[in-house]
Amino acid sequence: MTGQGEYARAVAWVGGLEGHVAMIDQTQLPGEYVVMRIEDVETIFEAIRRLAVRGAPAIGVAAGMGVVLGVRDWSGEERGGFVGRVGEVCDYLGTSRPTAVNLFWALDRMKRVAMRMTDATVERMKERLLEEAVAIHREDEAMCRAIGEVGAEVIPDGGGVLTHCNAGALATGGMGTALAVMFRAHELGKRFRVYADETRPLLQGARLTTWELMRAGIETTLICDNTAAQVMREGRIDVVITGADRIAANGDAANKIGTYGVAVLAEVHGVPFYVAAPSSTFDLSLTDGGKIPIEERSADEVRRGFGVLTSPENVQCYCPAFDVTPARLIRGIITERGMIEPVSQETVSARLGSATVVN
Ligand code: MRU
């Protein structure tokens, strides 16, 4: 599933309709590289909820495959009943996490495939759903590569790049979004150093981003989240690039908690801030970022991260998993369809007019 010089494959379908999902358990990285064999939809749901698979595009890919696992054992032969079952499984998976719109986008695609097959047998519909899940994965892989191509130019040779959370291969069906830009620039022979924010509380930057960058041979420096201002003031950062979980029609972008703060710092220090994301991360039904649902996670992720109590046991916590960076702080959005720059409702719609996402 992975090897030196290859990008990690966060999730993959193995075999035919009777096959299974192979998924890296990201909660174990970087200490242990564990690939789970998943054969039922409940385990996919749980994997998304507990962040064994995470990152907006990878969640979408896993959900598509989860639909197949949830319907393949349906024994009825009546089409209407089967379509109903597809709807139930999609509704169930849609409650796993609320912010990444790729989840709802992928589930909507799966539902529409089932609804459109008015003449097919149930058996054929099952096969077609698997084809769709695999297509979602393949398309994401291609989008990642295209994002890398479009974005590589923003990385200055000899410069410094800062990123927050993990928007790499682990977070997608391909080579990543923000990290695809870095991987491609590296392939093109540019030399640069990436400063990876640790990304409290679940440390996706420390555990996952540094792991991916170092495997690719990119110069990597891990910093605590609260060091970002200082490295900018010291002139070490020429560009910031992050991923996104949901981008509204006006370009406001939700991403891992702390991203907004980094964007404010970048503005103050005159550092361009870019978001890299595929069209499947845009939610054009929302006029602005204030309408993006923000997940709140358990206080224990802050109080006793990774099992160590670091505060009074019963202290109250506020734990939003994401924040929204307003479009005015974003220099450009790097998509597989090209760069959106400047970022506004007009430029988003000009580039993505046909991308529709349903939630
Ligand atoms: O809570 P997570 O780890 O799923 O959050 C992930 C992020 O915020 C990523 O930056 C985002 O999904 C983009 S992934 C290409």
Query: What is residue 77's predicted lDDT score, i.e. its pLDDT?
Result: 85
353 pLDDT above the threshold of 90: no
pLDDT tier at 354, thresholds 50, 70, 90: low
Domain boundaries, the chain: 11-145, 153-352
Nearest ligand 1 atom, CA 59: 4
Distance (Å) of CA 204 to CA 5, 47, 167, 261, 299: 21, 16, 9, 17, 17
The architecture (CATH level 2) of 153-352 comes to: 3-Layer(aba) Sandwich (3.40)
Distance 244 CA to ligand 1 centre (A): 7
The architecture (CATH level 2) of 11-145 comes to: Up-down Bundle (1.20)
Q: For 123-178, write each residue's pLDDT tens digit.
A: 999 999 999 999 999 999 999 999 999 999 999 999 999 999 999 999 999 999 99
Distance 95 CA to ligand 1 centre (A): 17
Distance 247 CA to ligand 1 centre (A): 13
Query: What is residue 357's predicted lDDT score, i.e. its pLDDT?
Result: 47
Catalytic entry in 238, 245, 283, 323:
245
Q: For 25-68, write each residue's pLDDT tens digit.
A: 999 999 999 999 999 999 999 999 999 999 999 999 999 999 99
Nearest ligand 1 atom, CA 168: 15
Can you give the pTM of this predicted structure? Answer: 0.96
